[in-house]
Every structure is written in structure tokens, then in C-alpha cells.
Amino acid sequence: MDTRIPKPYGEAVAPAQTLDRRDFLKQGIKVAGTAVAGGIAGTAALSAQGAEPIGKDFPAWSNTMGKGLSTYGQPSRFEDPVKRYAASGYGTLAPGTGSARSPIEKLEGVITPNGLHYDRSHNGTPDIDPAKHKLLIHGLVKRPLTFSIAELSRYPMVSRICFLECAGNSSGNAVAAEPPQVSAGNVHGLISCADWTGVPLALLLNEAGVEPGGKWLLAEGADSAAMSRSIPIEKAFDDAIVALYQNGERIRPENGYPVRLLLPGWEGNMNVKWLNRIKVTDGPTHTKDETSKYSDPMADGKARQFTFEQGVKSVITRPSGTMTMSGAGLYEITGIAWSGAGRISRVEISLDGGATWRDALLTGQALPKSVVRFRLPWEWNGSPAQLQSRAIDEKGNVQPTRKMYKAENAVDGRFHNNSIVAWGVDADGSIKNVYS
């Protein structure tokens, strides 16, 4: 057996990671080395054939001309089951009110393809003509301005990869008495990550000239729900973007076409889609969307009206609930982690329900306020196990347990649930959502 070390493992370790590279490489070799006799034998040895394919056995696609060129590609027809989980909150009465969650357990890497980015809408997706849409900046400014999309496109832009997460993500695990036995994406799929491009909001506010009394912003969407939220003006001068592009192309309709607000690391709802106006104010506007909704009832009977930053969080996406493991052997545990506070510095994995922890490998680049992918090879011996992941960010924030979340929040509290997710593996290989 060739013992040369695959370089991607070494390179993939993020600089911020405390994991010792050499230790991982040793471990990597061990996994690969034992694999032939152990778990992966279940993969490779069973399928060893030792023969080259024979002409008459070639499948049709190797003997006939393929499909012609296309101008806008689509997934293979065999990937049809890979879809968003769309759930309308009010059924047929308001089919656009609800959410479409990313099937995170079927996805890989860090970027969410545009067709599968999660979507939470309050009155459907408007069909906006970009030639007729304008962004108004007014209120406590020296001169109110409107910007057409063509005008916005003239300004200097920035690009950054960052996540968006709905405040209601993982609410099923927060409120259900028994853990819902659905897929990971069905519970935790209101998280996605894309390469966003647009104009720094600060540039546009500078054009309008903020008056000294301007301390907050009101951002309002052009949808018929007129979704609107209050935002401290400091965020605008930190990293807020008036975004026009999502993964290279114009933003998708359900994600705010032709223009949305992007507040990196802050709760999804504040990243106002179909952005229609920004009003500079002296305080929060207390809109319907931040009083009747998106406020957090706490255990002590009070409520938090504003929770801006999304907490540090992680989910193991494979193996995960509703999947079945096909016998003992080597598996890769993988998942995603993110934090509104900045970079993910470490993700720990427990295989025994939280008793002991070990570091996962972060692959790809651990960018700030972005999803990062973690991985850990796992030789499953066929006994029951309980998998958990715990993320830690560069500010030292640690993902809390579900018990900690429940102790702090009201009985029916369901927002901002960033608590540890646990998957129970039975001896028969079935995997269940469990509360740890």
C-alpha cells in the first residue's frame, strides 16, 4: 500500500484551528490503513472486480451522442429528490407565507446552490421588475435620495461569502415535547451560505448625509407584507451591504430580487428582502415584525425584543436523523458550523452523548460569519451511539446544550435556538433525533 499522505488534509486545516496537523495526518493514515481490513472493506473489497469493462456491457450513455449544449443548466433528473422542504404556515390561504428549508443533509461543502437557498417569506415572493424598482433613503438625512438598480450598479461593490440563518431555525427541537423524527434539513435547514456582492450601505448613507441625530435605520421591503425592521446605524458603518448578487448571478426572487439588505451574522429576518426604503431615525421604529414577531419570550416572563447576532452553532448533517447506517465500518461524520460573532475556531464531536469530545477537522476556509464544513472519520463498531457536535467561535462563545437553552427561554420559546443537536444511532443502524 502506498503510504504517501494525501495533501488536501494538511492544507485544509484552517490556520485558526488548534488541532495539531501532524496528529491528524497520523490519524488520517491510520484510518486509511485500517480501512482495507476493516470498515472500508465493506465498501471496496466487496466491489473488487479486477476486470476492465467490456464493450458490449457499455451503458447507452457511453455509446450514443449526448445532449446538446444548454444556456442555463439544471440538475440531473436523478437528483429530483434533492429539494427544499416547503411548508406554508397557513396552507392554501396564504401559500407564500412560510418557509422553504435547505436540505442540508443532502448538501456538501459550504456554498448553498441558489436553487436550494432557504427562503422565509411573509406574503409570498413578489415579481419585481428591476427597471421599475427604486431604493429610497430618507428620514434624518441631509438630502433624501432614490436609487434605481442601474444607479446602484454604478457604485463600488464588495463581495463576501457569508451565511444567513432564520431566527426560527431549529424551533422544532425547541418546542416539541418529543424530538421530531424528520430529516436534519426539516428541523435545521433555515441556514444557507452564499457569495454575496453589493454596495456597502455606508457609501449610500454617506451620499444622503446622515444627520447627527440619526441613530437607527428602518429597512422596509417592497413585498405586500411590507416586511420592516429596525437596525442600529452602527451596523451600516460596520459591514452592511445593499446586495445585488448571490453566488455570482442576480439575487433569486425568493431571496430578495432585485436588491436585499445583507447584515452579515445577524438574524435572517433583518436582512430585508426586496429592499424598498431605508429611513434614518433617532430610535427603533417598533414595527409589527419586531413586536408581534421575532421577539424572544424568556423563562423569567420578560421578552427580548431585539436579538441581532446569531449564536454560535453546528449541526451534524451526515449521518443524521431518518438515515440508516449500512452496518459497522468506516463512516465520515460531517456537518456545518457558523457564528454571527465571527470565525469558527473549533468544532468538537462527541460519540457518547456528550461524555467525551474530540476535535473535528475544518475543511475549506474558515471565513468569518460564513458556514464552515467539519469532518471526522468514524469507525462505527455497530453498538448504539449518540453523536453531537459543539462549535466554538473566535470570541470564545461555546454552543450551549438544549437544557441551557430551555432554562433561559420561556416554555414556548422557539427563536434563536442554537443548542447542541444530538443524533441517536441504534444497533440496527437507524438514526433518530434525540434530546440530550
Q: Which of 18, 23, 30, 109 binds a copy of itself (CB under 8 A)?
A: 109
Residues in the interface with a copy of itself (CB under 8 A) total 151
Tell me the closest approach of the beta carbon of residue 390 to a copy of itself, in angstroms: 21
Binding flag, residue 332, a copy of itself (CB under 8 A): yes
Segment interacting with a copy of itself, rule: CB under 8 A, options 272-280, 281-289, 350-358, 385-393: 272-280
**Distances in whole angstroms, Cα of residue 142 to Cα of each of 155, 336, 381:** 20, 44, 69
Residue 6 engages a copy of itself in binding (rule: CB under 8 A): yes
Residues, the chain: 436
- Report which of 253, 264, 186, 257 is spatially closest to residue 231, judged by C-alpha positions: 264
Min CB(281)–a copy of itself separation in Å: 13
Nearest approach in angstroms of CB 370 to a copy of itself is 9
Window of 4-12, 175-183, 388-396, 419-427 that interacts with a copy of itself by CB under 8 A: 4-12
| Integer Cα distance of 89 and 212 in angstroms | 42
Please report where in the chains the cell 433617532 appears, as a residue: 282
Region 282-311 residues binding a copy of itself, contact defined as CB under 8 A: none
By CB under 8 A, residue 37 contacts a copy of itself: no
Closer to a copy of itself at the Cβ: 35 or 434? 35
* Among 362, 273, 269, 252, CA closest to 308: 269
Stretch that binds a copy of itself, among 122-130, 183-191, 397-405, 412-420 (CB under 8 A): 122-130
* DSSP letter (8 states) at residue 141: B
Q: CB-wise, 140 or 391, nearer to a copy of itself?
A: 140
Question: Which of residues 38, 113, 232, 354 is near a copy of itself by CB under 8 A?
Answer: 113
Span 175-194, contacts to a copy of itself by CB under 8 A: 194
Partners of 303 in beta bridges: 297
CB count in 10 Å sphere of residue 1: 6
User: Binding to a copy of itself (CB under 8 A): which residues in 125-164?
Assistant: 125-134, 136, 138, 142-148, 151, 154-161
**Calpha distance 133→293 (Å, rounded):** 27
> Residues 376 to 435: which contact a copy of itself by CB under 8 A?
377
Distance CA 412, CA 406 (A): 9
Residues of span 46-75 touching a copy of itself by CB under 8 A: 47-53, 59, 61-75
HEC per residue, 205-217:
HHHHCECCCCCEE
Identify residues 236-265 at the interface with a copy of itself (CB under 8 A).
237-239, 241, 244-245, 247-250, 252-255, 257-258
C-alpha cell at 310: 446569531
Q: What's the min distance (Å) between Cβ of 401 and a copy of itself?
A: 28
Indicate which single residue of 107, 278, 420, 431 sits in contact with a copy of itself (rule: CB under 8 A).
107
Q: Cis bond leading into 377, ω under 30°?
A: no
User: Identity (one letter) of the amino acid at 414?
Assistant: R
Among 22, 37, 56, 78, binds a copy of itself (CB under 8 A): 78
Q: How far apart are CA 239 and CA 168, in angstroms?
A: 23
Q: How far is the CB of 108 from a copy of itself (least distance, A)?
A: 4
The smaller minimum CB distance to a copy of itself, of residues 107 and 187, is found at 107
Q: 84 or 346: whose CB is closer to a copy of itself?
A: 84
Among 20, 23, 79, 428, binds a copy of itself (CB under 8 A): 79
- Long-range contact set of residues 270-273: C-beta below 8 Å, sequence gap at least 24: 270/219, 270/229, 270/231, 270/308, 271/164, 272/219, 272/220, 272/221, 272/227, 272/228, 272/229, 273/121, 273/221, 273/223, 273/227
Helices marked H in 193-318 = 201-208, 233-236
Contact criterion met (CB below 8 Å) for 332 and 318: yes
Q: With H, G, I as helix, E, B as strand and everything else as coil, classify residue 306.
A: coil
**Could you say which residues in the range 308-327 bind a copy of itself, by CB under 8 A?**
none
Q: Is 347 in the site for a copy of itself (CB under 8 A)?
A: no
Q: What span, in angstroms and rounded, lies between the C-alpha atoms of 381 and 372?
A: 28
- CA–CA dist 419, 25 (Å, integer): 31
Give the rounded distance of the alpha carbon of 227 from its chain centre. 22
Q: Could you tell me which stretch among 5-13, 292-300, 387-395, 423-431 binds a copy of itself (CB under 8 A)?
A: 5-13
Nearest distance from C-beta of residue 318 to a copy of itself, angstroms: 9
Q: Does 232 bind a copy of itself (CB under 8 A)?
A: no
Report the alpha-carbon distance of residue 220 to residue 126 in Å, rounded: 14
